[in-house]
């Protein structure tokens, strides 16, 4: 998933989602791509909003912990706001839950929402 994101291969990520996936991103209302998304079409809209807002400079996965159907990954990201040209960074934690078909059924992204809000606001 992370390699697909780094290469901009969003269709690969979407193809690994359950049709009932719940995709949670912290930061409402200050982070334009934050929210709860339902299903692959909604998640595609998340990636469109993310791409419109953020230019990732560096995305590093530091740890991946697996336990049957749950994966927790941690890392850090450096990015630039596309409209503000401000750079900012954050550590993050992403929680992935999978079904028996290895499809993502639930995703939660936790990060420094204040750093993003400041980086995306003029």
Secondary structure of residue 117 in the 3-state scheme? helix
Q: Which is higher by pLDDT, 6 or 10?
A: 10
Dump the DSSP string for 18-71.
Answer: EEEEEEEE--TTTSTT-EEEEHHHHHHHHHHHHHHHEEEEEEEEEEEEEETTEE
Read off the pLDDT band of 122 (50, 70, 90). confident
Q: Encode pLDDT of 31-61 as tens digits.
A: 999 999 999 999 999 999 999 999 999 999 9
Closest CA to 24 of 118, 93, 100: 93
Percentage of residues in the chain with pLDDT exceeding 90? 94
Distance of CA 110 to the CA centre of its chain: 9
Which numeric CATH code is attached to 2-120?
Answer: 3.10.450.50
| Domain map (residue ranges) of the chain | 2-120
């Amino acid at each position: 998933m992370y390699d697909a994101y780094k290469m901009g291969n969003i269709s690969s990520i979407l193809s690994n989602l359950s049709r009932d996936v719940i995709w949670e991103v912290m930061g409402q209302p200050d982070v334009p791509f934050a929210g709860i998304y339902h299903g692959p079409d909604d998640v595609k809209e998340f990636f469109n909003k993310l791409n419109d807002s953020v230019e990732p400079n560096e995305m590093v996965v530091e740890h991946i912990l697996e336990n049957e159907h749950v994966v927790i990954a941690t890392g850090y990201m450096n990015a630039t706001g596309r409209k503000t040209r401000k750079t900012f960074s954050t550590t993050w934690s992403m929680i992935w839950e999978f079904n028996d078909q290895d499809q993502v059924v639930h995703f939660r992204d936790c990060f420094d929402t204040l750093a993003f809000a400041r980086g995306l606001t003029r």
